[in-house]
Structure 1
Amino acid sequence: MECKSYHEKKGIPFKKLWNWPPVQIFIGIWTVADKFEIRNLIRTLNIIQKMNLVGDKVDFKFILGIPPEFTPELESQLSIENNTYGDLIMLNNIENMNHGKSYYYWKWVAEYSDMQYDYVIKTDDDAFVHFQNLALNLRPLPRKNLYYGLENRDIFMYGELETLSVDQVYMIATSSFNQTEWYGHEDRMLGSWLLNHVNSTLIRISENCLIFNDPRTKNRFSRRPWASPNLIVIHRIKEISAWKSVIDLYIPKIISNKFFSEF
């Protein structure tokens, strides 16, 4: 099935995206405390991606809530991991997906970023994000008032890639937490908050061509195949073997039996 990206529909081929100025991006990868193995894999991939960026800057952190059962052993393991890599952020609320983690994530970013980023992103630990393709597709877009991702019926951007310009993040951070506005499917609640508070200035841009779900996921979320060289995200990668086949296609330089023998 033919599919044109947002920019292609505007008459801008992929190779022309290099003509726009580079961008600075922060990515928060939502995870939970005990997923050590998948964080290690994603961390390795993303560090390699950062080193291979041309002009653009992409930083990432893993975003956790406080584990409901925060045993001394788990606390020690997380402490060792963060002392080693320095990329874990534990928000000041109990771990959850749909009961306020979204608000506290955006609020933390606003306090952390100090306006050094153009865009802030939320994604998941079952999603492969192609850093360079993401940056290139963001380069021509507005640096203010932006809400970008794969849109659901003009309501919200799906949670595998929720992109806000940094000014929108500060808008959320300066508001007080309202349980009725943030309790529910986190991506839907973000879209609803923006609709209710900043809709008059919001620039909504949907990318429905370069954001995919892994087609091996046999459920209603499965969409078109993902073997596009220009893709931005592949979501619902649930197994290490599935990650390997994605990496074989998109980051072939690092593929080796030795790399995956660690996982």
Structure 2
Amino acid sequence: MHRRRQVLAALLPSIFFSLFFLVYIFFNVGVKSSLVASKQSTLNHTSFSLLIGILTRPDNYDRRHFLRLVYGIQSSPIAEIDMKFVFCKLTKDEQRLLISLEILRYNDIIILNCTENMNSGKTYTYFSSLPYVLSRRYDYVMKADDDIFIRLLPLSLSLKPLPRRDLYYGFVIPCNSMNPYVDYMSGMGFLLSWDLVEWIGSSDIPANNTYGPEDRLVGKWLNLGNKAKNRFSNKPAMYDYPGTNGRCSHELIPETIAVHRLKRWDQWRNALLYFNVTRGLHLSNM
């Protein structure tokens, strides 16, 4: 009997370790499998995919970090939405260091082969480069400014019933126009279906017309190429911040998809408070 107790005492650590190892494996494999399955299930139920490229400048570090907060707390159950910051080649050692850190941490930056400009082809370089620099395709691609607040759920709901091909979507210019088949979509934030992005990257029409007001040029390309037969201008849900741009502006409204020209922090504060973006915050006793 004494001998059996000695043998059992000697085996107990091994038995305990084996049980612990089995529980550890079961928990980790089970949890990881559950997370992967949950993510895959979410993707399987989305209706479409969207890339939002925010055209900005390398030195706008504070704005990028702020926008990561603004968009990081938003989601949509019907759309897979990726957000990328887009700018041209880096020109300073400081940029190369700090933006390398951003890429390592967030992986949300696209650096184009161009020199920063307003009307010398940055928009063309953005759209024409995507089919070659991305590892996947999207149903839609959006070009947006860094002074616009986009509400991702209302945006995705507005896109759900629309065509997935030959689509040009945004805020039509001039401000008082309601006809998306005349003129062009404002640069505040307009969207193209993937087939149009591929066309921009392969057609001579955009390649030979890259200098000038860039958002107007996009409309010109599509007209010359007899493209974008499906056009949609989402007024009044897209607009400029109250009082900033004449008839393109109006008061904040609940059905807003995007509000533009948020140049100052007080304007951002007013917009975020109006839409109650922190309503999900759980207060603590601290």
When normalised by structure 2's length, the TM-score is 0.74
Shift of the alpha carbon at 1:209? 1.1
Identity among equivalent positions (%) equals 33
Higher relative contact order (Cα pairs below 8 Å, separated by 6+ residues): 1
CA–CA distance in 2 between the matches of 1:54 and 1:120? 18
Amino acid aligned to 1:203: N
> Does the aligned pair in 2 maintain the 1:212–1:225 contact within 8 Å?
no
Answer 1 or 2: which has greater helix percent: 2
Is 1:28 matched up with 2:56? Answer: no
| Structure whose CA Rg is larger | 2
Equivalent in 212, 225, 241 of residue 251 of structure 2: 225
Name the structure 2 match of 1:74: 95
Q: Superposition RMSD on alpha carbons, in Å?
A: 2.2
Deviation of 1:241 after TM superposition, in Å, equals 2.4
Alignment-derived partner of residue 240 in structure 1: 265
Query: How many angstroms apart in 1 are the aligned matches of 2:67 and 2:117?
Result: 21
How far residue 54 of structure 1 moved from its aligned partner, in angstroms, is 1.7
Residue matched to 1:59? 82
Q: Which amino acid is the alignment partner of residue 204 of structure 1?
A: R
Identify the residue that residue 36 of structure 2 maps to in structure 1.
none
1:19-59 CA-partner distances (Å, limit 9, x unpaired): xx722111000100111111101011111113xx2232111
Secondary structure of the corresponding residue to residue 224 of structure 1: coil
Q: Unpaired segments of 5 or more residues in structure 2?
A: 1-45, 175-181
Q: 140, 160, 164: which one pairs with 2:161?
A: 140
Q: 1:131 to 1:178 in 2, by over 3 A?
A: closer
TM-score (norm 1): 0.80
In structure 1, give the amino acid aligned to 2:218: L
Letter in 2 for 1:65: C
Number of equivalences:
230
What stretches of structure 1 move > 6 A for 4+ residues in a row?
none
SS in 1 for 2:53: strand
Aligned to 2:239: 212
Q: Deviations over 1:104-159 (max 9, x none)?
A: 10022222456642111000000001111100000011111111111125110000
* Of 158-167 and 239-248, the range deviating more from structure 2: 239-248
State how far apart, in whole Å, the 1-side matches of 2:247 and 2:98 are.
34
